Amino acid sequence: MTIAFLNGEFMPLAEAKISPMDRGFLFGDGIYEVVPTYDGAPVGFKGHTARMSDGLSAINIDNPYTPEQWREILDTLVSKNSTHFSTGNIGIYFHVSRGADVKRYHAYPTGVTPTVFGFAFEIAPPQPTNKQSAKALKVALEEDKRWQRCHIKSTSLLGNVMHFQAGADAGVNETILFNSEGMITEASACNVFMVKDNVITTPPLNHQLLPGITRAIAITAFKNAGLDVKEDWFSKEDLLNADEVWLTSSSKEVAAVTEVNGKQIGEGIIGPVWEKAIRAYHAYKFDA
Ligand code: PDD
């Protein structure tokens, strides 16, 4: 059994209990983060804690901990769980909900204490650096039907869950989303990049997508490596005609996609720019 963190205490995951009146349970009223760690070293920790602070302040919840305190919880979860997993690839989930009120009433209550939860789970090993050993992903394509505040990493994930499920039902790994103008926003749990003529493009940040920490690290890493990268909107037609398509997330790092909606991308195999990109990402990720 893994060890979890709940409201200041570490305990076996099965013993971590919260009230059904918790607003995270009733309303999805909370913020979460997933931080990847490899042999105890987190990737993007500063960015994850900063984004959690932004999300909490956007929904008027006081951040219960400083970044240093979050770091201590992360390190403790990693060390308490390290013997449980067969690898050092451990994801740490953090979750702060508004807490449990005595009644169900939509407006933010006063005087409730946020519920703070953390647990550890095994994530995939770091991406290999050559395309022969990497796993290519297939994705579905759907119109983005989520809310207008996708920049907030909210625990209200039903929209994302339904988009992801559409991909799962189609037998693919993810679902890439486009807005009502036909422009790509992100995927149900990842950011999206495309490559055309050696130029790497990812949608710019606004309310339609999450400011992914992996996305930010990747952009800096690619620039450091001299790759041509820009933030700009592109359409689903651009995506389908791209030379390469990639997804980024804390658990996938930079993952190549070779099929979108049943259509082969480029030559239908992982492309040469991905190899340069993943090497650049690995060279920089622990410095971010
Ligand atoms: N998903 N977009 C969405 C909608 C996401 O849920 C995620 C992360 C990302 C990538 O963000 P980051 O690089 O910071 O992980 C983009 C996490 C991993 C999840 O929900 O499990």
As its CATH architecture, domain 3-122 has 2-Layer Sandwich (3.30)
Say if CB 156 and CB 162 are below 8 A apart: no
Quick one: pLDDT at residue 150?
98
Degrees to nearest 5, angle at CA 203 with 131 and 237: 75
State yes or no: is 153 an active-site residue.
yes
Quick one: pLDDT at residue 37?
98
Q: 153, 167, 288: which is closest to 209 by C-alpha?
A: 153
189 Cα to the center of ligand 1, angstroms: 5
Cα separation values, 162 from 17, 159, 249, Å: 27, 5, 18
The ranges assigned to domains in the chain are: 3-122, 137-287
110 Cα to the center of ligand 1, angstroms: 30
Tens digits of residue pLDDT in 179-206:
999 999 999 999 999 999 999 999 999 9
Quick one: pLDDT at residue 154?
98
Q: What is the atom index within ligand 1 of the atom nearest the CA of 150? A: 4
Q: What is the atom index within ligand 1 of the atom nearest the CA of 160? A: 4
Q: Model-level pTM greater than 0.85?
A: yes
**Overall residue count recorded for the chain in this entry:** 288
Three-state helix/strand/coil letters over 165-220: HHHHHCCCCEEEEECCCCEEEEECCCEEEEEECCEEEECCCCCCCCCCHHHHHHHH
Residue 225: CB partners within 8 Å, gap ≥ 6? Answer: 276, 277, 279, 280, 283
pLDDT beneath 70, residues of the chain = none
**CATH 3.20.10.10, applies to 137-287:** yes
Task: Establish whether residue 192 lines the binding site of ligand 1, counting it when its CB lies within 6 angstroms of any ligand atom.
Answer: no
Q: 106, 160, 166: which is closest to 140 by C-alpha?
A: 166
Query: Quick one: tokens of 39?
Result: 């042999």
Quick one: pLDDT at residue 260?
98
Rounded Cα distance, 23 and 28, in Å: 6
Mutational pocket test of ligand 1: of 34, 121, 144, 174, the residue with most ligand atoms within 8 Å of the beta carbon: 34
4 Cα to the center of ligand 1, angstroms: 21
Task: Establish whether residue 202 lines the binding site of ligand 1, counting it when its CB lies within 6 angstroms of any ligand atom.
Answer: no
Q: 236, 220, 221, 126: which is closest to 175 by C-alpha?
A: 236
Tens digits of residue pLDDT in 72-95:
999 999 999 999 999 999 999 999
